[in-house]
């Protein structure tokens, strides 16, 4: 069953959870300097959760051991924040979430460690994934279909010469981090293409690669990497589809 239409009160609580996620992003972005450990970033994000009176929806999810995913370079998704040391020019994707009063927020961003000038190729890929996310969000409206997001994301990514990861998709969000409907990024796709209705909340999350978007999961059961070793970037917001159009919930 698709995630139910949210009431204004419920959306307001999701907005509070979304603000905490945005604060986690700000703190992690600041901490992600050359020489920092990925595990340091998890500590920073935990601090924000604690100070905000929020809990993590990542920690313990299918046994996941951290409050964020830190995915450098050819890691596509679900990088476990371990003792890896960040280097200048690394492309780092960070994904995290927060729960307030049982309502979820989920968002991701990508950055170049040490600043865009340290890796122009990575910066361009990040620019493209951010544009794809913006286009995907803009495509959400009452009476549309989730496939409108896939069309918009794929057009932007392909237009910049990038490939779109097929297997990992956006999702409904609310009382659970992952609700129906799936929100695909790659167009065309197999599977359901349900209507978008006012009151729905979804996480839009394009993941794109500079090379081929074929991916594999490492033996740790989490880390997903590109098969060709090419760079990957991820950007995500949780979004409420209001009568007047999409409203991003995961902003400061």
Which residues have C-beta within 8 Å of that of residue 51, sequence separation ≥ 6? none
192 contact, one of Co ion, ligand MF3, none, CB 5-8 Å limit per kind: none
**Chosen residue from 106, 163, 179, 182 binding Co ion by CB under 5 A:** 106
CA nearest 14: which of 242, 190, 181, 173?
A: 173
Span interacting with Co ion, options 74-82, 103-111, 154-162, 211-219, rule CB under 5 A: 103-111
Q: Say whether residue 203 binds Co ion (CB under 5 A).
A: yes
Query: What's the burial of 113, exposed, middle or buried (CB within 10 Å: 0-12/13-18/19+)?
Result: buried
69 contact, one of Co ion, ligand MF3, none, CB 5-8 Å limit per kind: ligand MF3
97 contact, one of Co ion, ligand MF3, none, CB 5-8 Å limit per kind: ligand MF3
Which residues have C-beta within 8 Å of that of residue 78, sequence separation ≥ 6? 64, 69, 71, 95, 222, 223, 224
Binding residues for ligand MF3, rule: CB under 6 A, are 58, 61-62, 64, 69, 78, 95, 97, 106, 171, 203, 205, 236
Which residue, 89 or 129, has its beta carbon nearer to ligand MF3?
129
Which residue, 72 or 170, has its beta carbon nearer to Co ion?
170
Q: Which two tokens stand for residue 127?
A: 């620019």
Cβ 79 vs Cβ 233: under 8 Å: no
CB of 243 to ligand MF3, least distance (A): 26
Measured N-to-C along each axis, helices 120-138 and 147-159 cross at an angle, to the nearest 10 degrees, of 150
CB of 171 to ligand MF3, least distance (A): 6
40 contact, one of Co ion, ligand MF3, none, CB 5-8 Å limit per kind: none
Cβ 146 vs Cβ 196: under 8 Å: yes
Which residue, 81 or 105, has its beta carbon nearer to Co ion?
105
CB of 95 to ligand MF3, least distance (A): 5
Strands (E), 38-165: 68-72, 75-77, 91-100, 103-112, 163-164
Q: Which residues bind Co ion (CB under 5 A)?
A: 106, 203, 205
């Amino acid at each position: 069953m698709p995630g139910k239409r949210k009431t204004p009160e419920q959306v307001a609580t999701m907005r509070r959870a979304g603000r905490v996620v945005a604060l986690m992003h700000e703190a992690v972005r600041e901490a992600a300097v050359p020489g920092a450990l990925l595990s340091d970033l998890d500590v920073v994000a935990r601090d924000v959760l604690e100070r905000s009176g929020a809990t993590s929806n990542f920690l313990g999810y299918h046994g996941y051991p951290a409050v964020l995913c830190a995915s450098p370079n050819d890691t596509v998704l679900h990088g476990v924040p371990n003792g890896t040391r960040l280097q200048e020019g690394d492309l780092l994707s960070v994904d995290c979430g927060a729960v307030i009063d049982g309502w979820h927020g989920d968002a991701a961003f990508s950055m170049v460690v040490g600043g865009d000038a340290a890796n122009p190729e990575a910066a361009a890929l990040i620019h493209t994934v951010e544009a794809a996310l913006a286009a995907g969000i803009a495509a959400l409206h009452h009476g549309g279909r989730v496939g409108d997001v896939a069309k918009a994301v794929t057009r932007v990514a392909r237009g910049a010469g990038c490939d779109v990861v097929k297997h990992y998709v956006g999702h409904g969000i609310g009382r659970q981090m992952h609700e129906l409907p799936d929100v695909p990024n790659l167009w065309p796709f197999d599977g359901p293409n349900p209507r978008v209705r006012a009151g729905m909340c979804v996480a839009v999350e394009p993941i794109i690669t500079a090379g081929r978007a074929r991916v594999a999961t490492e033996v740790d059961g989490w880390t997903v990497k590109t098969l060709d070793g090419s760079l990957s970037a991820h950007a995500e917001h949780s979004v409420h589809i209001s009568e007047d159009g999409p409203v991003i919930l995961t902003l400061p």
